[in-house]
Chains A and B, each alone.
Chain A
Amino acid sequence: MYAQMVKTAGTGVKTPDEMSDQERAFQARIDAGEKIEPRDWMPDDYRATLIRQIGQHAHSEIVGQLPEGNWITRAPTLERKAILLAKVQDEAGHGLYLYSACETLGVSRDELIEMLHAGKMKYSSIFNYPTLNWADIGAVGWLVDGAAIMNQVQLQKTSYGPYARAMVRICKEESFHQRQGYSIMMKMAFGNAAQKAMAQDALNRLWFPSLMMFGPPDKDSVHSTQSMAWRIKINTNDELRQRFVDQTMPQMKYLGLTCPDANVKWNEDKGGYDYSDPDWDEFFAVLRGNGPCNKDRMAARVKAWEDGEWVRDGLMAHAHKNKIKNAAQVAAE
């Protein structure tokens, strides 16, 4: 899940009696499963919530290039390097679609980026954890992309048309990412003793942060009800987290790796695994800026943006000159 703890705008779910005629008609369209399109009327709070959610999702794709990019120059074979480059290129592409989807709501990409850099918008907490050994690149694909897919599959049915359509395309690429991650994990887990140790180390560090990607437990999730009524969110955090654990445990068993959660156990009655909560204090500390990489990630993005200013200005100035030149040419003809 690349968008977590998105604060829903407004004062909570209104009853039909409390809604204006426009709001009632809007809610009826959502309830009938219709897609809302950019030119349609929508409540201000629906728009504001979507901007936060899609923007956070876009930022996550862009910041997410950094932990994986960390290993491109050190990828162990030419093929692994090519696959990782293709994957990171896809992530940047996802950022681009999502910023474009967000722009249909009346906010520009530059404004969103400036809000991120000013600390007024967030990206997923997971990218504040480091990639320390090569197996981390496998674990990021397997666990992090796996968790992201769990969320994004349901978002293909989200009520806002441009977001839902972006998700359809993104989901196809993400499932390739997850497979490449798992393929690295297999090589490592079935490799020599050092490789096995790297695989276990990566799993130990990334398991709980991956569970955090789904956001706080439902009982503490204050923003969900309105977002679910608007179908901006389809499933609850705990539903998705459970599905993720159930999907991942057999894969972990196949790899012969040990889950860092000693309490993880199949529960026949519920037909799913019991598992321990991640440390939510750590989660909130990371969101507040105290994760292992928050400062480095933001510093890298801000530097890229500031160092690139002369490039953006130069290319814009050139495009402007060309426009004037072409107009003069047309006038002369």
Chain B
Amino acid sequence: MINKVVASPDEAVKDIQDNAILMLGGFGLCGIPEQSIAALLRKGVNGLTCISNNAGVDDFGIGLMLKTRQVKKMISSYVGENAEFERQLLSGELEVDLIPQGTLAERIRAGGAGIPAFFTPAGYGTEVAEGKEVREFNGKMHLLESWLKADFALVKAWKGDTSGNLIFKGTARNFNPMMAMAGKITIAEVEELVEPGELDPNAIHTPGIYVQRIFQGESYEKRIEQRTTKIK
């Protein structure tokens, strides 16, 4: 098997240059590549384009890189309750492409799957449709949407082996598998890194062919955005 292990997050991101196009997995703060983000903060790389469903919160996830102004452009579906993201968006300091979530997911999948474009009904008749080809199928209007690819995809999995096979846990899977496919170089961070043969091949979510670098992260914070428990 091919060994893809790198020693640290800093080693994994060392050739990410200014103005790179990145994909970052996660939905909210669930399943985000928190160790790779921390390494990018330490590296201080600038002018990044970040493709990610959300932009973290003010003080965690991609929100940390917004604060340090390392991000030039966000491609996302939801700003949500991230005050700094919303402020930079409204003031025009940050370029933002807001994309319907299903279209974003499919554009990333298409990028990894070698499908240059596809038609979807989402966004027809809205701002999202501006400048896009419209075509009718079965009496319903659809927009032509193109694939998305990235220089680097930063993904987070639960378990992985040294050859890059990945298993996700719970809803932390979200955008990670498609992004792993769509990155020219995919950097996977895992909570538990094992030897080839230790993971059941039937259980692999992302085959190692999509992953170029892998490392085991230390002491995951896994912050919870909305801790909600049963009402007593």
**A in complex with B:** no
Seen from chain A, the residues whose Cβ lies within 8 Å of a Cβ on chain B are none
Seen from chain B, the residues whose Cβ lies within 8 Å of a Cβ on chain A are none
